[in-house]
Amino acid sequence: MNSSDANLTPLPRTAENRCFGCGPANPHGLHLEFYLSTDGTVVSMPTLPDSFEGPPGHLHGGIIATLLDEAMSKSLRTHGLLAMTRHMEINYLRPVPTMKPLRIEARRTHYEGKKQYVQAHILSTDGETLATAKGLFIEVKPL
C-alpha cells in the first residue's frame, strides 16, 4: 500500500458474477477486487492462498498469467469496453509468493479501432517487479 492508495475508487462487482478471476459467486476463484487510481491505472492488492501454489510457497505460473490477464481486462472495462485476449506476452521475473500481499497494476497503452493494447505488472510489497505482461485484446459486443 502506498500514499496514492487513499485515492483508489472500487470498481463495481455483481454478486452473481462467476468469473474465475473476480467473481464472488465462484467458490474456487481468485476473488480479486479492483480499484481505479486517479491516473487511470487499475489496481488489485490480493493475498493469495497456497491452494494456488505451484512451487512450494509460490504461485503457479498459470495463476500468475491469470492475474495479469484479469487486470488487463479490467483496465479496458474502465473505458467502457468488453474485450477478449487475443495475444499475451508474459515475463516471469521473480517467483511470486503465496500468502503475502501483492500489488497488480494495469493500464491501456493505446488502441487501433477494436484492437486494445494493454500492460500489467505484479509487484511485491517492497515494490520489486515480479512479473510483467503486455497484451492485445479485441473489443467484442456484449451478449
Residues belonging to the active site: 69
Q: How far is residue 106's CA from residue 92's CA, in Å, rounded to a whole number?
A: 16
Return the exposure string of 32-63: e unless at least 16 CB atoms fall within 10 Å of the residue's CB, then b: bebbbeeeebbbbbbebeeebbeeeebbeeeb
**How many residues are listed for the chain in this entry?**
143
Question: How many beta carbons lie within 10 A of that of residue 68, not counting itself?
Answer: 26
